[in-house]
Chains A and B, each alone.
Chain A
Amino acid sequence: MAICREVTTQAADTAMSLNDMLKPSTHCQVPLDRWVEFFVKDWLVPNFRPAFRAAQWPVDQVMRGLEGFLHAVPFYAMTIFFVAVAWRFAGRGVAIFTLVSFLAIEAVGVYPDTMTTLSMIITAVLFCAIVGIPLGILSASSDRFEAILRPILDVMQTIPSFVYLVPIVMLFGVGMIPGVVATIIFALPPIIRLTSLGIRQVREELVEAGYAFGSTRRQVLWEIQLPLALRMIMAGLNQTLMMALSMVVVAALIGAGGLGLTVYTGLGRLDVGAAFLGGFGIVLLAIILDRITQGIGAGAEQRRANWTFTGFVKRITGFARA
């Protein structure tokens, strides 16, 4: 394959402006688009499609199981469960909000779609945690690993999700599971970053104390670093959750169902009402999940540590060291 496309020779005949002369494309056009196409279509897909298909198997299992379960639970039981969880972790206000939201979602007729979306979100966040927390731990313990990982995460966070929808369809096909896979890729960075940050900001002296008393690396990780990074990890999980929710509509483009599909079809038919219903469900679900996970994060801190407020602020700001 030629590296450059043929450059039109006419340009050389006519008097060339300095501007044109200095443009790389006058002399050599780089066909990056064709290279990428070649890489994905002729190398990645034929060689690795079975591997990617196999990799989506666990996602598939969890997703189907969860979706079946959430749809099987009666509406009132699900509502009671969420209200109870909200009350326990986030207080009475959030509990009342949760109750009203669930009733509203059911009343406008998007409850089944909401459950489908919820199962997608939970699956995506679960796999993000399974993959992301170990990667965050590794990245905290090795500067070299972090140096490699950081640009990859930067790309994952900045690249528009539409860009990788095409290769995902080629590798995974269309449907619910490819949608979840796209969501996992999009929502993974925060949990990795914040796990790493949380572990790195544990005071050096505490880690030293662990080793000084004969702890192994594993003991230091489990008894000192992870508990003290817990709040930060929970914040990462919350961020991951929010990003997963924002992918719901995009995932519908490649065949995922749920509230995203309602918005997408509404968009296609210029059906303002349907699109609004989807958005209504997504927003309410987002607020409920955000408040509950934030509550769990803060609660975990209080129950485990019973810290004074100032002590907590000091630790977060790293001030205790000074």
Chain B
Amino acid sequence: MQKLTVKNLYKIFGAAPEEALVMARNGAGKDEIYRKTNSVVAVNDISFTVNRGEIFVVMGLSGSGKSTLVRCLNRLIDPTSGEIYLDGDDKAGSVTAADGENLRQIRLRRISMVFQHFALLPHRTVAENAAYGLKARGMSAKERRDRAVHSLSKVGLDAWADAYPGNLSGGMQQRVGLARALAVDPEVLLMDEPFSALDPLIRREVQDQLLKLQDEIKTTIIFITHDLQEALKLGDQIAIMKDGKFVQVGTAEGIVSQPSDDYVRAFTSDVDRSRVLTPRRMMQPALPAAEMAGLGKVRADSYLCDVFGDLSTGRKLAVVDDDGSYLGVLDPLSVFAHLQATENSTGIGGRA
């Protein structure tokens, strides 16, 4: 089920976007267009679809246009050309065609956002921050506080409802940012490098928390990052962005095992596959419960490198989530075969 559809999106900054747009459509490069028209093509012919409940990660270095792209999706930046749709591709769900009030309604109810530097209001309490979107909607004070506290409890911060953001650590502040975005119960959640400003340990912690939360809420997430490890860990689909274009779109395995060009290969060459792939990704459908009960267990979101000990026994393993329910079966033979194959294909000397 398609939740978000983007078709031929362009964003050009500069005085004469029309001229630059024509050039971009005819396949001129970013540098050439800048030389000739003095306009910068930030987003260049981007098309993609995201299914309901999926995490779509856009990974790119600074200047690749990823932040501009995500801001086009809720029109904090108006795209120069192209279409954005919610739920299929009929006019009723068009974000690009929405006028002032309709756009406001979309932002109030359907698309919300998490920011890189948290963007919390320092003069409001944590609960008031989490309730920000609900207040803009005009909800009563009591109702929005209840919903804000409920949303904070999802990220484990309900005890901090009456503290001020300045008294919270970076990781906690970003969880408030997440709670604020979730409080409006959005259909699409935009996350613009949400964890980039955090320390590595904290980052890993909030990534795990996001995955766990996603299992519960199953919302559609567009996640921007410059960190390939993060992209591989979180993304159901990953798009690698360079100079305003997607150079490759695929799953984590697809990106690491079959990079489409040298740019992507350079990124993925030093990625240890066993640190990318998880039992969740490698598992096969679950067997009947009776058979599962006899197997050893591995956590779905641990990394393969952490469960090599279990895998080395050669026996099949049951993949479980944190509550212990069965998700699938992991076959060591296929795991090692896969690791060996991908290692060969991208190791020194490149693919055959």
Q: How far is the CA of A209 from the CA of B136 in the complex (A)?
A: 12
Contact digits for A292-308, partner B, Cβ 8 Å, 1 yes 0 no: 00000000000011111
* B160 interface residue (CB < 8 Å to A): no
* B115 interface residue (CB < 8 Å to A): yes
* A27 interface residue (CB < 8 Å to B): no
Contact digits for B221-250, partner A, Cβ 8 Å, 1 yes 0 no: 000000000000000000000000000000
Which residue, of A209, A215, A311, has the highest number of chain B Cβ atoms within 10 A?
A: A209
Say yes or no: A214 contacts B136, CB within 8 Å.
Answer: yes
Which residues of the other chain, B, contact A206 by a CB distance below 8 angstroms? 119, 121
* A208 interface residue (CB < 8 Å to B): yes
Say yes or no: B119 contacts A209, CB within 8 Å.
Answer: yes
* B76 interface residue (CB < 8 Å to A): yes
Which residues of the other chain, B, contact A224 by a CB distance below 8 angstroms? 121
Q: B166 is contacted by which of A209, A311, A321 (Cβ under 8 Å)?
A: A311
Q: How far is the CA of A212 from the CA of B114 in the complex (A)?
A: 9
Say yes or no: A212 contacts B121, CB within 8 Å.
Answer: no
Which residues of the other chain, A, contact B336 by a CB distance below 8 angstroms? none
Say yes or no: B116 contacts A223, CB within 8 Å.
Answer: no
Contact digits for A192-215, partner B, Cβ 8 Å, 1 yes 0 no: 000000000001011011111111
Nearest opposing residue in chain A for B100, CB measure? A216
Which residue, of A214, A216, A308, has the highest number of chain B Cβ atoms within 10 A?
A: A214
Say yes or no: B136 contacts A219, CB within 8 Å.
Answer: yes
Say yes or no: B123 contacts A213, CB within 8 Å.
Answer: no
Q: How far is the CA of A304 from the CA of B164 in the complex (A)?
A: 10
Say yes or no: B115 contacts A307, CB within 8 Å.
Answer: no
* B133 interface residue (CB < 8 Å to A): yes
Comparing B7-15, B27-35, B104-112, the segment that makes contact with chain A is: B104-112
How close is B72's CB to chain A, nearest CB, in angstroms?
A: 12
Say yes or no: B116 contacts A228, CB within 8 Å.
Answer: no
Q: A307 is contacted by which of B117, B122, B135 (Cβ under 8 Å)?
A: B122
Say yes or no: A212 contacts B113, CB within 8 Å.
Answer: yes
Which residue, of A212, A215, A227, A311, has the highest number of chain B Cβ atoms within 10 A?
A: A212
Q: How far is the CA of A209 from the CA of B106 in the complex (A)?
A: 14
* A88 interface residue (CB < 8 Å to B): no
Nearest opposing residue in chain B for A224, CB measure? B121
In the complex where A305-B122, A315-B122 touch, is A213 in contact with B167 (Cβ < 8 A)? no
Nearest opposing residue in chain A for B113, CB measure? A212
Which residues of the other chain, B, contact A209 by a CB distance below 8 angstroms? 113, 115, 119, 132
In the complex where A213-B133, A228-B122, A311-B122 touch, is A306 in contact with B107 (Cβ < 8 A)? no
Say yes or no: A307 contacts B166, CB within 8 Å.
Answer: yes
Q: How far is the CA of A113 from the CA of B30 in the complex (A)?
A: 71
Say yes or no: B164 contacts A208, CB within 8 Å.
Answer: no
* A272 interface residue (CB < 8 Å to B): no
Say yes or no: B119 contacts A214, CB within 8 Å.
Answer: no
User: Which A201-255 residues sit within 8 Å CB-CB of chain B?
Assistant: 203, 205-206, 208-216, 219, 223-224, 227-228
Q: How far is the CA of A306 from the CA of B135 in the complex (A)?
A: 22
Say yes or no: B123 contacts A304, CB within 8 Å.
Answer: yes
Q: How far is the CA of A205 from the CA of B116 in the complex (A)?
A: 8
* A320 interface residue (CB < 8 Å to B): yes
Say yes or no: A305 contacts B108, CB within 8 Å.
Answer: no
Nearest opposing residue in chain B for A223, CB measure? B121
Which residues of the other chain, A, contact B164 by a CB distance below 8 angstroms? 305-307
Nearest opposing residue in chain A for B77, CB measure? A208
Say yes or no: B117 contacts A320, CB within 8 Å.
Answer: yes
* B50 interface residue (CB < 8 Å to A): no
Q: How far is the CA of A228 from the CA of B122 in the complex (A)?
A: 8
Q: How far is the CA of A163 from the CA of B108 in the complex (A)?
A: 55
Q: How far is the CA of A213 from the CA of B128 in the complex (A)?
A: 14
Contact digits for B17-47, partner A, Cβ 8 Å, 1 yes 0 no: 0000000000000000000000000000000
Which residues of the other chain, B, contact A315 by a CB distance below 8 angstroms? 122
Q: How far is the CA of A47 from the CA of B123 in the complex (A)?
A: 50
Contact digits for A153-186, partner B, Cβ 8 Å, 1 yes 0 no: 0000000000000000000000000000000000
Q: How far is the CA of A216 from the CA of B112 in the complex (A)?
A: 15
Nearest opposing residue in chain A for B190, CB measure? A212
Which residues of the other chain, A, contact B117 by a CB distance below 8 angstroms? 203, 205, 320-321
In the complex where A212-B74, A213-B108, A214-B105 touch, is A305 in contact with B166 (Cβ < 8 A)? yes
Please name 14 further chain A to chain B contacts, defined as beta carbons within 8 Å, in addition to the given A213-B132, A224-B121, sorted by A numbering: A203-B117, A209-B113, A209-B119, A209-B132, A212-B74, A212-B107, A212-B113, A212-B190, A213-B136, A219-B136, A228-B123, A307-B164, A307-B166, A320-B117
A-B residue pairs in contact (CB < 8 Å), sample of 8? A205-B117, A212-B76, A213-B108, A214-B108, A223-B135, A228-B121, A228-B122, A308-B167
